[in-house]
Structure 1
């Protein structure tokens, strides 16, 4: 657990977009793993705990008390000048990633952020490789659209 917890936290953050919620989700996932350890230790525990983590995040989103902030079109201040700052790019990608549907986000994070194969991703999410491929394609297409939307908004803000 000690060797894997940092990777699980990063994965949880990419699924939730919030370090505190990610930490809670990882703790819950590890607790659930502990409860079924005798059965889970015979399986691929890495894939098993990541699947538990995806399920925990999904359950968390379904709860009535969870409310997401709504983004408005009006910006409170003009966007900063376009720059190649890696931090700004990272924040832009993370905010676009947070707007993907949960299943697509999980596939995109596993495939491209964690550099997992189609088969590994399918095993973690307990779905077919074809589902991983289609969700990857749809997720990347939507992510590109979201990033283009952000760029066009920035360009309008800079021109205005």
Structure 2
């Protein structure tokens, strides 16, 4: 049985990365992780007996989904990207990263969660399905649709770049 403080020390940065991929905002990611940990702390003795990381990750996902349901006047909305950089620009990868983050804003929260768990956390479909309360087929469907949407945005960006 792992203690709460020990768990937070060991997994905090991983949870922050996961939350950042979901929301695209480092400050909101910190808030989401903090909310999830605050919700889990009172029941830690029960959670630590099972798979606490999966439960906390699910709590981060739930906090993110709750955040997306807030009225739009209460949250910040990402604006358009600045003009595209010159092709010789050494920082072109930053533009691609920004385009990817904007494209992720258009995905559903479930698609973001599945992609983050698949490619950031490298979790198998079974664990993702369990963590999100989905069927394995739904996990595969969310992944496929999310990747298609991201691929379309990045392909369009390459076509637009001179």
TM interval, short-chain normalised:
0.7 to 0.9
| Count of equivalent residues | 151
- Deviation digits for residues 21-72 of structure 1 (CA, Å, limit 9, x no counterpart): 000110010000102213212221111000000000111111121242453x
TM-score of the superposed pair, with normalisation by structure 1 = 0.84
Specify every segment of 5 or more residues in structure 2 that has no aligned partner in the other structure, as ranges.
Answer: 1-7
**Any idea what SS the aligned residue of 1:4 has?**
helix
Q: Which runs of 4+ in 1 moved over 6 A?
A: none
Q: Aligned to 1:100, what secondary structure does the other structure show?
A: coil
Extract unaligned runs of 5+ from structure 1: none
Aligned to 2:14: 7
Secondary structure of the corresponding residue to residue 122 of structure 2? coil
State the partner residue of 2:84.
Answer: 79
Aligned Cα RMSD in Å? 1.9
1:149 and 1:6 map into 2 onto residues whose CA distance is 33
Q: Please report the TM-score for the alignment, with normalisation by the length of structure 2.
A: 0.83
Partner residue of 2:132?
125
Distance 1:113 1:12 in 2: 11
| 1:106 alignment partner in structure 2 | 113
- Determine which of 57, 66, 72 is the counterpart of 2:75: 66
